[in-house]
Amino acid sequence: MKKVLVANRGEIAVRIIRACRQLGIETVAVYSDVDRDSLHVQLADEAFCIGSKDLKDSYLNMNNILVAVGLSQADAVHPGFGFLSENPEFARLCEQVGVKFIGPSASVIEKMGDKSVARETMIAAGVPVVPGSDGLIESATDGKEVAKKLGYPVLVKAAAGGGGRGMRVIQAEEEFELHFQAAKQEADLAFGDGRMYFSGGRQGSFCCEL
Amino acid sequence: MMKIEELQKLLQTIDSLSLIRVEIETDGLRLITDKSERPALTQSGSAPTVERIQQSLGKREETVEPFVEETIEVEGSTFTSPIIGTYYAAPGPDADNYVEVGAKVKKDQTICIVEAMKLMNEVTAEEDCEILECLIEDGQPVEYGQPLFRVKKV
Amino acid sequence: MATGACISAAAVKAASVVNYENAGTIEFVVSNDFSFYFIEMNTRIQVEHPVTEMVTGIDLIQAQLLIAQGEPFDIEQEKIEIQGHSIECRLNAEDPAHQFRPSPGLITSLRVPGGFGVRMDSAVYAGYEVLPYYDSMVGKLIVHAETRELAIAKMLQALSELEIGGLKTNRAFHLEILNHPDFLEQRIHTKWLETDWK
C-alpha cells in the first residue's frame, strides 16, 4: 500500500492522514468546494475537490470519489466513520475497481451493517440481544402495533445507521408517527437508506461499546 | 457588521492578490490575513525539518506591507468544471478540438469533455460566449469547480 | 467471570461468527442486574476509538492500515491488557442555551490543553470556519490516567484550559456532568440525562 485516499472530512480524516504519514504511506484528501480550507486538505499530500457542499454531490458520491481514486492512483480507500463507511455498495465498488477498501468485506458490512440482519445473526450465534422487533418496520402503522407489544418507551433506529443519526426514543403512541417519520427522513438524508427497526431501550441501563 | 458573504468575498479578493499580509480594521471587524510561508506539511513523506520551520518563522517576521488598494482587471469570467474527472479538448485523439481560443460558441454547444468513470461527459456552454483563453491542457485531471476557460459573454 | 470479561468474550464470539476482518465495534447495553444484550455492530472505526487506544496502547488506525496491507497481525487477544482509565469528550459547535442546536461560525482563537495523558483530536484551527452543512463535532478531547478519579480530574483540568473563541460549544456542559455527584459516584445510565439531570 503506497497511497491511501481518505474518503472523509474533519477530525477523522486528519487522524487517518497522520497515521498514514507515520507509516510512510502517501495520502489523498477529497473535499467539497466549501471545505477548501480544511485541515485534512492542508495535511494530505494531494487533494481533489470532488463536488459541491451537498453530501450527495461530494462525500456521499461514490462515483466522484472513485474518479479521484483513479486520478490519484491511490491503491486503498479509508472511509473513516459516517458517510460511506458502512455502505456495502461502496466497499463492493472499491473491490471491483481494484482498490483496497480499508474495512471488512462488502458481504460482512451488509450482514452486520444491516442492523436487523445483525440481530438475527447474533441470535443464531447465542449472543444475547436486546428485546425488539426481529425485522424491519415496514410502516408507521406496523411499527405502532409492535411498539404496543414491546411497551413504551421504544427506540427506533436506522437499519443503515450509526452515530446517533436516524435514532429516536418514542415515549408514547401519540408521538409515534411524528418521531418515526423524522428519524426515517434523517436516516434517508444521512445514509441514503430510510429502513428502520426497533431496538429495545431499557430503563436504567448502561451502554457499552467494545 | 459585515455579513459572512461579504467577508467571504473580501477574503477571496485578498486571496487573489499577491500580497503576503493584509490587515484591515473597519466597523467592529479586525481582519488579518497572512500568506507568509508555513512549514510545508504537504510535501510528500517529509516531516517538517527544524530548518524549514526556522526558515518560515524568519519569513513571518518580515515587515508588514501596508494594504494598498489594488484592482486587477481581468476580461471576462471563468467557466468551471461541473465534475471531477479528466479534461479532453476533443472527442477523440485524432479529432479536432471542440473549441479553440477566439471561437464564439452558442448556449448548450459542447465545448469540451470531462471523463469520469469511463463516461464521456459533454460539457456545454451556459450562454453565448467567446472563448478567450483555455486554462487547462488536454488529458489533465480537473477538480469540481476548477476553471477550464476564460470566456466573454456575447 | 466479571461482566466486562463476559461482554468481551461475547464481542469476540460475535466478530468470529461472521469472520470479521479489520476494525469494528460491538455495542451492548448492560441492565441494572448486570445482564447484557447485543445492540448492534458498527463495521468501521468508532468515533470513540481513542479511548480504546489509550487504555490498550494500540494505534487502531495504524492497525487498520496494517491489516489492509495484509501484514501479519501480531496483536494477540490474550496479550491485550487494559491499563488505567480513559475518558473522551466530544466537542460540538452547539448552543447550550437553545437545546444544543448546531451553532456554526468562525473560530477566532483557540487554546488547546495539553500535558501527560491529554490528547486532542480535531481538525480546527484559529481562523477556521465551522460550516453549517456538516456535523457539528469540532473535536474530541481524550484523557488517560491510572484510575477513573484521576481521569476525571485530568479531564476537568483539560476542559478548563480549552478555549474555542467565537464559537458556542458544549464545553461547559461536559464540565457540569463531570462535576455531578451522580457521575462521580457512577450512578449514571442511558436515561440519566433525561430523567435525573438537574
C-alpha cell at A30: 477529497
CB contact A39 to B (< 8 Å) = no
Q: How many domains is chain C built from?
A: 2
Query: Average pLDDT, stretch C126-152?
Result: 96
Same domain (yes/no): C35, C90: no
**Do residue C139 and residue C62 come from a single domain?**
no
Please state which of the ranges A152-161, A179-188, B31-40, C70-79 shows the lowest mean pLDDT. Answer: B31-40
Domain residue limits, chain A: 3-110, 130-199
- Nearest residue on chain C to A200, alpha-carbon basis: C39
Interface membership of A43 toward B (CB under 8 Å): yes
Interface test with B, best of A23, A63, A67 (most B CBs within 10 A): A67
**pTM score of the predicted model:** 0.77
Of A43, A57, A66, which has the smallest distance from its Cβ to B41's Cβ?
A43
> Which residues of chain A does B84 touch, with a Cβ-Cβ cutoff of 8 Å?
48-51, 64, 67-68, 71
| d(CA A47, nearest CA chain C) in Å | 16
pLDDT at B96: 94
Q: How far is B43 from chain A (nearest CA, A)?
A: 6
* Cβ-based contacts under 8 A for chains A and C: 190
For C131-152, b/e burial (b = at least 16 CB within 10 A) is: beebbbbbbbbbbbbeeeeebb
Q: Does A71 sit within 8 Å of B84, measured CB to CB?
A: yes
Instruction: Check which CATH number belongs to the domain holding C190 and give it.
Output: 3.30.470.20
Q: Do C22 and A102 lie within an 8 Å CB cutoff?
A: yes
Cβ separation A50–B84 shorter than 8 A: yes
Angle at A81 between CA A73 and CA C112, to 5 degrees: 100
Residue A109, classified by CB atoms within 10 Å of its CB into exposed (0-12), middle (13-18) or buried (19+), is buried
The verdict on a CB contact (< 8 Å) between B144 and A52 is yes
> Cell for A186?
434523517
Q: How confident is the model at residue A167 (pLDDT cuts 50, 70, 90)?
A: confident
C89 and C32 within one domain: no
Among the ranges given (A83-87, B38-42, C168-172), the one the predictor scored with the smallest mean pLDDT: B38-42
Residue of C nearest to A15 (CA): C121
- Using CA atoms, how far apart are residues B65 and C23, in angstroms rounded to an integer? 51
Q: What is the pLDDT of residue A113?
A: 75
Contact A130 C45 (CB under 8 A): no
Per-residue pLDDT, C142: 98
Q: Which residues of C touch A79 (CB under 8 A)?
A: 44
Dist. CA B135–CA A102, nearest whole Å: 36
State residue B82's pLDDT score: 94
Mean pLDDT for chain B? 76
> Bridge-partner residues for A142, per DSSP?
none
3-state SS record for A118-171: HHHHHHHCCCCECCCCCCEECCHHHHHHHHHHHCCCEEEEEEEEECCEEEEEEC
* Residue C157 touches partner A, C-beta closer than 8 Å: no
Give yes or no for A37 touching C (CB within 8 A). Answer: yes
Q: Which of B75, B54, B68, B85 is nearest to B150 (CA)?
A: B75
Using a CB–CB cutoff of 8 Å, tell me whether A109 touches chain C.
yes
Chain C contact for A208 (CB, 8 A cutoff): yes
> What's residue A192's pLDDT?
78
CB nearest C68 (choices: A39, A82, A102): A102
Q: Give the residue with greater pLDDT, B40 vs C172.
A: C172
Co-location of C142 and C128 in the same domain: yes
- How many residues are present in chain A? 210
Q: Are residues C94 and C60 in the same domain?
A: no
Distance between CA atoms of residues A108 and C21, nearest Å? 9
- What value does the mean pLDDT take over residues B43-66? 46
Look at residue A208 in the predicted model and tell me its pLDDT.
60
pLDDT in tens, A32-69: 999 999 999 999 999 999 999 999 999 999 999 999 99
Least confident piece of the model among B18-27, C36-45, C68-77, C81-90: B18-27
Query: Is it the case that residue C134 has pLDDT exceeding 90?
Result: yes
CB of A100 within 8 Å of a chain B CB? The answer is no
- Taking 80 as the threshold, does the pLDDT of residue B2 lie above it? no
Portion 150-189 of A in contact with C at CB < 8 A: 157, 162-163, 169
Cα–Cα distance, C1 to B65 (Å, whole number): 70
Residues C146 and C172 in one domain: yes
- Same domain, residue pair C157 and C61: no
- What is d(CA C105, CA C110) in angstroms, rounded to the nearest whole number? 13
Residues C113 and C148 in one domain: yes
What pLDDT, on the 0 to 100 scale, is given for residue C191? 80
pLDDT category, B57, cuts 50, 70, 90?
very low
The domain boundary, picked from C21, C55, C79, lies at C79
Of residues A166 and B153, more confidence is placed in B153
Residue type, A71: L
Residue span of the structural domain in which C138 resides = 85-195
pLDDT value, residue B21? 67
Using a CB–CB cutoff of 8 Å, tell me whether A52 touches chain C: no
pLDDT of residue A133: 61
* pLDDT computed for residue A151 by the predictor: 79
Helix (H, G, I), strand (E, B) or coil at A27: strand
Is the CB of residue A128 less than 8 Å away from at least one CB of chain C?
yes
Residues of chain B with pLDDT > 70, as a percent, come to: 55
DSSP strands (E only) in chain B:
21-26, 29-34, 77-80, 85-88, 104-105, 110-116, 119-124, 129-134, 141-142, 147-153
**Among candidates A21, A49, A63 on the partner chain, residue whose Cβ is nearest the Cβ of B143:** A49
Question: 3-state class of A48 per DSSP?
Answer: strand
pLDDT digits (tens, 9 = 90+) for A87-135: 999 999 999 999 999 999 999 999 887 777 888 888 888 888 877 666 7
Is residue C119 annotated as a catalytic residue, yes or no? no
Lowest model confidence (mean pLDDT) among A34-43, B95-104, B116-125: B116-125
Q: Is B71 or A129 the better-scoring residue by pLDDT?
A: A129
Closest-CA distance, C147 to chain A, in angstroms, reads: 18
Beta bridge partners of C80: none
Q: Are residues C90 and C163 in the same domain?
A: yes
Q: Inter-chain contact A45–B44, Cβ cutoff 8 Å? A: yes
Predicted confidence (pLDDT) at residue C102 exceeds the cutoff of 60: yes
Q: What is the mean pLDDT of residues C102-131?
A: 96
* Residue of chain A minimizing CA distance to C31: A205
Residues C190, C92: one domain?
yes
B86 chain-A contacts, CB cut-off 8 A:
71
pLDDT tens digits, C91-100:
999 998 888 8
CATH H-level, domain A130-199: superfamily? ATP-grasp fold, A domain (3.30.1490.20)
Cα distance between residue A116 and residue A137, in whole Å: 10
pLDDT at A23: 96
Q: Is the model's pLDDT at A161 over the cut of 90?
A: no
Last residue of a domain, one of C39, C55, C79: C79
Would the pLDDT of B17 be above 70?
no
What pLDDT shows up at residue A67?
Answer: 96
| Whether pLDDT at C24 is above 70 | yes
The topology (CATH level 3) of A3-110 is Rossmann fold (3.40.50)
How confident is the model over A5-28, as pLDDT tens digits? Answer: 999 999 999 999 999 999 999 999
In terms of Cβ atoms closer than 10 Å to its own Cβ (0-12, 13-18, 19+), residue B138 is middle
> Does C104 share its domain with C161?
yes
Q: Among C79, C110, C137, identify where a domain stops.
A: C79
Annotated catalytic residue, options C44, C101, C111, C187: C44
Confidence of residue C64 (pLDDT cuts 50, 70, 90): very high
Predicted pLDDT at A162: 66
Instruction: List all chains that touch chain C, counting a touch as 3 or more CB pairs closer than 8 Å.
Output: A
